[in-house]
Amino acid sequence: MIKAVIFDLDGVLVTTDELHYRAWKQLAAEEGIKGFTKEDNIRQRGVSRMASLEVLLEKSDKKYSDEEKLALADRKNNIYVRSLAGLDRSAVLDGVFEFIDHIKSMGIKTAVGSASKNTPMILEKTGLAALFDAVSCGLDTQNSKPDPEVFLIAADKLGIPYKNCLVIEDSDAGIQAAKAGGMLALAVGAAKNNPHADYSAESLADSCILRERHYTGIL
Ligand code: B16
Ligand code: MG
């Protein structure tokens, strides 16, 4: 029985995935790194800032020291954070507010489980912050998805057993993390065809999520 839903942030609750992509694109252009594509960006979903940088650097001939890598990650984050300046409620993906209202009305707890260290700021700016009973993010963790740590911390903050948690994710790394943590996983968006997910849907706006028998059964 599901007692808590743990939501990924980027690509599940908000549209910041495109802003991450543009920020990495800009950094690539500044560094003269060619051939960074949307497909590469899909592999950056859900993984930490440093792991995302490694995906970009696969396209570079230059060898960067650890110090230079930290500086590159900082530059990307500065570009990304600047692009969040005008972020507001309109960045919340379709169906999110309705879905959260629905599960809260059933007494189900809600949490965020995101790799992003910018999670608190994004939740505040989009008006989502008050809707969650707990937040676990890149500021809380040592290991990034596919390690389950971010979701285990979310469940621990809620005081709910792992087997009673449903994780909603748009990344393959996130689905792997949820399953490694002994949780159920609903794959949406870019991860919707992931064979390891227990359930899948186009997005939270997909009305079948609330209508279909097996979903109502688990929720
Ligand atoms: P930051 P999620 C992830 O968010 C993004 O999908 C991923 O592309 C990014 O590298 C990661 O957050 C870290 O973000 O640089 O803001 O700390 O999908 O786990 O909500
Ligand atoms: Mg995501």
* Local confidence band at 34 (pLDDT 50, 70, 90 cut-offs): very high
Q: Do residues 72 and 10 both lie within one domain?
A: no
Q: Which atom of ligand 1 is nearest to the CA of 145?
A: 19
Give which of 104, 167, 158 is closest to 134, Cα–Cα: 158
Q: Do residues 192 and 115 both lie within one domain?
A: yes
Give the model's pLDDT for residue 128. Answer: 98
Give which of 8, 9, 50, 41 is closest to 175, Cα–Cα: 8
Tell me which residues have their CB closer than 6 angstroms to ligand 1.
Answer: 8-11, 20, 44-49, 52, 77, 114-118, 138, 171
Q: Which atom of ligand 1 is nearest to the CA of 20?
A: 8
| 219 assigned to some structural domain | no
Query: Across residues 74-88, what is the average pLDDT?
Result: 97
Using the mean position of ligand 2's atoms as its centre, give its distance from the Cα of residue 49 in Å.
12
Judge whether residue 113 has pLDDT over 70: yes
Q: Of the residues 68, 86, 104, which one is the last residue of a structural domain?
A: 86
Q: Of the residues 86, 105, 129, which one is the last residue of a structural domain?
A: 86
Ligand nearest, relative to CA of residue 79 = 1
Q: Do residues 162 and 100 both lie within one domain?
A: yes
Neighbours of ion ligand 2 (CB under 5 A): 8, 10-11, 46, 170-171
The range of the structural domain enclosing residue 59 comes to 17-86
Q: Do residues 66 and 22 both lie within one domain?
A: yes
* Local confidence band at 35 (pLDDT 50, 70, 90 cut-offs): very high
| 138 assigned to some structural domain | yes
The encoded tokens of residue 181 equal 């943590």
* Cα–Cα distance list, 145 to 97, 120, 158 (Å): 25, 19, 20
Q: Give the residue, 104 or 219, on which the prediction is more confident.
A: 104
Query: CA-CA distance, 154 to 66, in Å (whole number)?
Result: 30
The alpha carbons of the chain give a radius of gyration, in whole angstroms, of 17
Give the model's pLDDT for residue 211. Answer: 58
Using the mean position of ligand 2's atoms as its centre, give its distance from the Cα of residue 9 in Å.
6
Structural domains in the chain (count): 2
Q: Of the residues 86, 107, 125, which one is the last residue of a structural domain?
A: 86
Q: pTM here?
A: 0.93
Question: Mutate which of 14, 53, 116 to test ligand 1's pocket (most atoms within 8 Å of Cβ)?
Answer: 116
In this structure, are residues 20 and 27 in contact, taking their beta carbons and an 8 Å threshold?
no
* Local confidence band at 213 (pLDDT 50, 70, 90 cut-offs): very low
Beta-carbon contacts of residue 171 (< 8 Å; ≥ 6 apart)? 8, 11, 45, 46, 47, 145, 190, 191
Beta-carbon contacts of residue 202 (< 8 Å; ≥ 6 apart)? 188, 189, 192
Using the mean position of ligand 2's atoms as its centre, give its distance from the Cα of residue 4 in Å.
18
**Residue 10 a catalytic site member:** yes
- Domain with residue 119: its CATH number is 3.40.50.1000
* Local confidence band at 207 (pLDDT 50, 70, 90 cut-offs): low
Using the mean position of ligand 1's atoms as its centre, give its distance from the Cα of residue 6 in Å.
15
